[in-house]
Amino acid sequence: MTRTLRASASACSNIALIKYWGKRDFEWNIPLNDSVSMTLSEAVTTTTVEWDPELKQDEIYLGGERVLDQRGLRVSRYLDRIREQYYRMHARVASVNSFPAGTGIASSASGFAALGLAAIAALGEGLPDEVEMTRWARRGSGSACRSIQAGFVEWVGGDDDASSVSRQLASPDHWDLRDFVVVLSRAPKAISSSEGHRIAARHPFMAARQEHLAARMLAVKGALANRDMATLGALVEHEAMEVQAIMMSGEPSALYLQGETIRLIHALRSWREDEGLPVWFTLDAGPNLHVLCEGSHALAVRRKLEAAAPRAELLENRPGPAATVHDDHLL
C-alpha cells in the first residue's frame, strides 16, 4: 500500500453576532440556542492530516511544535471519533494559525473546521456533503461548524447530533462588513469556555434569554438581508452585553472584560453617539473587542482605534471564504 492518506485544509475563524453560550449536550456540543456569525477572512487555520498505519499513536504539531498536553489530547479524542466511523489507524497532524496565539480569536473554531475537513479528506474516500461537514466540525468545537461556510452563517442549534448544523445566510460579497479585532490582552482566560458553558447552562437568567432570542435572531437576519448597519449594530451590541452580563454574574463570576475593554467601549460609544461615526462592537469570551463597521468607514475606524489604543494589535477582517481542501501541505 503506497497511497498516501494525506490531505490539507484551511478554515477561517468566525465572530458570533448572536452568541453560542451554554450547551444542552456536552458530548455532541449541542447549544442552547441558534447563533449567527461572520466568517473572518484574516484568521485562518491551515491543517495537514496524514493517516499512517505505522504510527503507534497520534503525533500532533501545533505551530511547528509537537504537543503532548491537553491540546494534543483534544485533537486525538477528535480523531477517535473519525476512527470509530472510518479507519482504526493513527495520524500525524500539523496545524498553523495565520493569527497569533492567545489573541482571543476563536482558534478552536477555525482549528476544528480545518482538522475535520483535512482528516476526512485524507481518507481519500471523498468528502461528505457540506451539511455533514458542519456536523463534523461541531463535534470538535461547537462554533467550528460556523467556520465551514463563507460569509454570513447561521448555526441551527437543533436537539441532537443530526439536527445541529450550520448553513450559509449570505456569501461574502453580499455585504462589505468589517470586523477589527483589537488585541488588548493575551493573558490566558481565568475560566475556560468549556467551564463557561457549564456555568451558563445553570444561570438563572438563561431561561429569560432563551425566550427573547428567537425574536433577536430574526431581527439580525433581517438586518443582514437589508445591509442595515445601524439596526444590526444595535442588536449585536445588546447581544454582546447580555452575554457578558451572564458571564460576570454567574457562579463563579467570569469577568472576561479588562479595564482596557471597558475604556474602549466608552470611547467607541462616544465616537458613535457624540461624533456620528457608525461603529459598533461585540465581544467573545475574552477581553478583546471586535469592532464592527461597513467598509466605507473602515479607514476612519482604524484611525480612531490606533489613536485610542496605540499599543493594541489590530486585525481587520472581511467576510471570509469557506473552508477548503488544498495542496499546500505542512507535512
284 binds its own copies, rule: CB under 8 A: no
Residue 207 beta carbon to its own copies: minimum distance, rounded to whole angstroms: 7
- Tell me if 162 sits within 8 A of 128, measured CB to CB: no
**Nearest residue (CB) to its own copies, 77 versus 212:** 212
244 binds its own copies, rule: CB under 8 A: yes
Region of residue 125 (left: phi > 0; alpha: psi -120 to 50; beta: else): alpha
DSSP state of 319: B
**Nearest residue (CB) to its own copies, 67 versus 308:** 308
* Pairing verdict, β 313-317 and 5-18: unpaired
**Nearest residue (CB) to its own copies, 207 versus 307:** 207
CA dihedral 51, 52, 53, 56 (to 10 degrees): -100
Strands (E), 157-228: 165-170, 177-183
Residue 156 beta carbon to its own copies: minimum distance, rounded to whole angstroms: 23
With vertex at residue 36, the alpha carbon angle to CA 126 and CA 315, rounded to the nearest 5 degrees, is 90
257 binds its own copies, rule: CB under 8 A: yes
**Nearest residue (CB) to its own copies, 29 versus 35:** 35
Q: Which of 94, 246, 289, 292 binds its own copies (CB under 8 A)?
A: 246
251 binds its own copies, rule: CB under 8 A: yes
Residue 215 beta carbon to its own copies: minimum distance, rounded to whole angstroms: 11
Residue 154 beta carbon to its own copies: minimum distance, rounded to whole angstroms: 23
261 binds its own copies, rule: CB under 8 A: yes
Axis-axis angle for helices 259-275, 298-308 (nearest 10): 130
User: Given the rule CB under 8 A, which of 5-13, 199-207, 221-229, 313-321 is the region that contacts its own copies?
Assistant: 199-207
**Nearest residue (CB) to its own copies, 131 versus 262:** 262
**Nearest residue (CB) to its own copies, 67 versus 241:** 241
- Tell me if 147 sits within 8 A of 141, measured CB to CB: no
DSSP state of 172: G
50 binds its own copies, rule: CB under 8 A: no
Determine the residue type at 149: Q
Q: Which of 162, 259, 275, 296 binds its own copies (CB under 8 A)?
A: 259
326 binds its own copies, rule: CB under 8 A: no
User: Given the rule CB under 8 A, which of 28-36, 88-96, 141-149, 263-271 is the region that contacts its own copies?
Assistant: 263-271
Q: What mask of x and - would describe binding to its own copies in positions 203 to 242, judged by CB under 8 A?
A: -xx-xxx-xx------------------------xx--xx
258 binds its own copies, rule: CB under 8 A: yes
Neighbours of 320 (CB within 10 A): 24
Output helix, strand, coil percentages for the chain, rounded to the nearest 5: 40, 25, 35
Asked if residue 310 has a cis previous peptide bond (ω within 30° of 0), the answer is: no
**Closest by Cα among 46, 15, 35 to 316:** 15
Backbone dihedral angles phi then psi of residue 191, each to the nearest 5 degrees: -130, 120
Residues of this chain that interact with its own copies (CB under 8 A) are: 204-205, 207-209, 211-212, 237-238, 241-242, 244-246, 248-249, 251, 253, 255, 257-263, 265-266, 269
